Amino acid sequence: MRVPLLLLAGMVVAISSAQSPFKLMGDAAPMDGGCIQLTPDVPYSEGLAYSTQKLNLNTYFEIQFDIYLGTKEEGADGITFVVHNDPNQYQAFGTWGECMGYGRWSKDYVAGNYISPSVAVEFDTYYNARQNDPYCDHAAYLENGTNFHTQYWNNNTDNYNLEDGKLHDFRFRWNPEKQLITVFLDGHIVYSGKKDLIHEVFKGATQVIWGFTASTGRASNLQYFCLKQIAVYKIPSRAVKPVKPAIPNLTLQTAPKMDHNQAAISEVTSVQTPRLDQVPLLR
């Protein structure tokens, strides 16, 4: 098991990919070296992989993985990393093509297949005007099953390309004390924003599913991910001193603590640490 990259005061639990089995849907399939294919290089493909180990939004965590988005610059469509509490749980899926297995065709048309409530990060490799995409590859933060976005990251270049045949390092970090989401791609911060995930997005839920979605349309690419590690920091509870009653004989009391089609699911019971020497690393 790899050692965690996070050096935090308190308890840190590091989990390798071998300890986090995934449930697979669609064209998702295990690959040699412990990685998981989301789509083969064929048109109109869709694949999803959800970890069977839920995330606790009351804890600080960072998930690190490599993503591979193919070799064809004209390929499509991309991958999303998603955290959700959709009522369909491990059978939740979105629309194919430009929606990348996560969202729906239009932000204004709340119908069809999409994953919600949720937050996601897309790695988009195909221009779609309906989603307000730039003409180049990019990363963007998404919410509640829509791929439409008003902001994106493309490394400040109109020629930014993720379909370069290389693995790209991605990290998703959640700090519950600051209610801060930070997203890294190849060492760059591509998104940072404050959000009360528990109350504003997940309506009080603290245990959420996480995983990956991807799809292709008329254009396609081989797309997969390799989980490197999860680091979880359990925030120590703070002792609260009892309040002395200001009025004699006063006793203080403590307050009491989409119309989805049935999708075939398979379970990966063992995913090995990926052999990154089999794929060229980003330099």
The pLDDT, as a whole number, for residue 252 is 33
Query: In the predicted model, what is the mean pLDDT of residues 57-68?
Result: 97
Q: Which stretch of 66-75, 188-197, 247-256, 265-274 has the lowest confidence by average pLDDT?
A: 247-256
pLDDT band at 283 (very low <50, low <70, confident <90, very high): very low
Strands 188-194 and 180-185: antiparallel
Give the 3-state secondary structure of residue 278. helix
Chain centre to alpha carbon of residue 147 = 14
> Residue 233: is its pLDDT beyond 70?
yes
137: CB partners within 8 A, 6+ apart: 69, 123, 124, 125, 154, 160, 161, 162, 163
144: CB partners within 8 A, 6+ apart: 114, 116, 117, 118, 201
pLDDT band at 264 (very low <50, low <70, confident <90, very high): very low
> Residue 276: is its pLDDT beyond 50?
no
Between CA 272 and CA 281, with CA 278 as vertex, the angle to 5 degrees is 105
Rounded CA-CA distance 105/98 in Å is 8
Rounded CA-CA distance 170/65 in Å is 5
Query: In the predicted model, what is the mean pLDDT of residues 190-206?
Result: 97
The pLDDT, as a whole number, for residue 128 is 85
pTM beyond 0.75:
yes
Q: Which stretch of 123-132, 224-233, 261-270 has the lowest confidence by average pLDDT?
A: 261-270
Q: Which stretch of 16-30, 152-166, 188-202 has the lowest confidence by average pLDDT?
A: 16-30
**Domains defined along the chain, listed by start:** 11-276 (2.60.120.200)
Query: In the predicted model, what is the mean pLDDT of residues 77-89?
Result: 96
